[in-house]
Amino acid sequence: MGLESKAPPWDTPSRGPNKASLSHSPEPGDEGEPGRSGLELEPEEPPGWRELVPLGTLHSLPKSQVKRQEVISELLVTEAAHVRMLRVLHDLFYQPMAEGGFFLLEELQNIFPSLEELIEVHSLFLDRLMKRRQDSGYLIEEIGDVLLAQFDGPEGSWFQKISSRFCSRQSFALEQLKAKQRKEPRFCAFVQEAESQPRCRRLQLKDMIPTEMQRLTKYPLLLQSIGQNTEEPAEREKVEQAAECCREILHHVNQAVRDMEDLLRLKDYQRRLDLSHLKQSSDPMLSEFKNLDITKKKLVHEGPLTWRVTKDKAVEVHVLLLDDLLLLLQRQDDRLLLKSHSRTLTPTPDGKTMLRPVLRLTSAMTREVATDHKAFYVIFTWDQEAHIYELVAQTVSERKNWCTLITETAGSLKVPAPTSRPKHRPSPSSREPLLSSSENGNGGREMPPADGRMERIFTALLPFCRPGPEGQLAAKALQKVLSLKQLLFPLEEDSRTGPPLEGDGVPGGSPLSPAQIQEIREELLNLEETIKHLEEVEEEFCRLRLLLSQLGENTVPQPGCT
């Protein structure tokens, strides 16, 4: 029926299985006896620890030692069960599906990705555990080196990569198999027949696919328990290090699962996305989004909001917060529309009354609406103009969550974020990587800069924290301009409007002609406007200086920057 998968026999030394051995090796418990095939006879589970220990010895051991040995035995027994389950997936489902032509090979590799590699890695781990039991007898003193060999270093990185690939496609696999069963009676009959085999132990295929993810969540708990009951310091340190590696692997796999689920949702949204309104529009703000592909973005958050275009006009939208955009989608049947709305009955030719459904986050900020605790404003600038959107959430907590996520996402586009991911462990150089960056959770996006680079950036910025009077320069300059205006036009501020009359003059100078007066007036107005802009820029600089001073542990307020 199917190709037999490799699993380590109990009485052989530790060595890595290879794919060529998948078709001939017995399952754990088969003892390699002639004529016994894993398809014909259920494998025996390895004995529990208490079955191996003499009763008198058991009662003489400390409770912590008994607990430690029982957890090590549980690790071994459950690993054997996991290897058996992976082999069932391979022998009864994966290979017959390929041979029966139910799927193309490429499709099967997306449903059961890296299955043979997972069998190989878990079988090697089980082989090492069994070898340690054989060498140690019923009392295993050292297990930390075996655990580190599995979960740390290049082997740990390789295990992380293949388990990430398998688990991240779990939802996709279940959907594909379910759809196939609905459409093809022959495939449905095949699955039911395979599930009825004794080796499945009354489990359905949909129950077996999540087995790898379930196993990954079990490792940290087992290793933590082993460490807590280990008294020898060096051994305990090894076990705790291995447990931390397991947690890192689980974190990475969970993130890969989330990223893949987000990608699948974005692909569904992209399929339903209606860009016809954008393609027909001559709005320069929308020109770059006429061929928008959201599958190249990262999904940060999504949910329903009400878009208050005017006091009398509200639109229900499904909002996507991406890594650099905020999209306001309108549902129409199965389609998702990106459609602009005017704040007036008749849009103006310059487009200033239009609110677009795509917002760039590089200049975005959020503000609460004082009169409605569920509402918030999203403000962003384009072409030196501010655009204000009023959005309403269903609850106050949702409004707070939206504001926080939009602010954090916009902020991440402006300030480099320090790395917080677990340390990277390169995969073995002897193996070709199975995943591209987009397949393994990176999505083609840039990784955060390393700590060394961040330190260099901060070192270059910290000199700006020095004290100084710059915060008052713009105000003083503006005051001088006002004084100059009063000197040039002494009566204008009191009783007259317009330029000085003929015969008025500047102290110490000759009378000014009307043309000269007009020229001076224009220059002064321009200067005044420029200095006002300088004042705004200076305020921003002072806020930046305050943040940098806190970063450099210099919290002394700067003059003019309070």
Contact yes or no for 151/249 (Cβ under 8 A):
yes
78-82 long-range contacts (CB < 8 A, ≥24 apart) are: 78/215, 78/218, 78/222, 79/122, 79/125, 79/126, 79/129, 80/28, 80/29, 80/45, 80/46, 80/126, 81/45, 82/122, 82/211, 82/215
Enumerate domains of the chain plus CATH numbers.
Answer: 49-270 (1.20.900.10), 281-344+352-413 (2.30.29.30)
Q: For residue 332, give the nearest of 316, 356, 310 by alpha carbon.
A: 316
Residue 186 to residue 528: CA distance in whole angstroms: 82
**Model confidence pLDDT, tens digit, residues 105-118:** 889 999 999 999 99
CA count, 13 A, side-chain hemisphere, 211: 26
**Model confidence pLDDT, tens digit, residues 425-447:** 444 333 333 333 334 333 333 33
Which pLDDT score, from 0 to 100, does residue 527 have? Answer: 73
Residue 141 carries which side chain, given as an amino acid letter? E
Residue 79 to residue 150: CA distance in whole angstroms: 12
Which pLDDT score, from 0 to 100, does residue 540 have? Answer: 67
Which pLDDT score, from 0 to 100, does residue 163 have? Answer: 95
Positions in the chain short of pLDDT 50: 1-43, 417-454, 456-457, 459, 463-470, 491-509, 553-559, 562
Q: What pTM did the predictor assign?
A: 0.62
Which pLDDT score, from 0 to 100, does residue 351 have? Answer: 58
Cα distance between the two ends of the chain: 79
Residue 299 to residue 318: CA distance in whole angstroms: 13
Residues 6+ apart with CB under 8 A from 12: 127
Contact yes or no for 464/544 (Cβ under 8 A):
yes
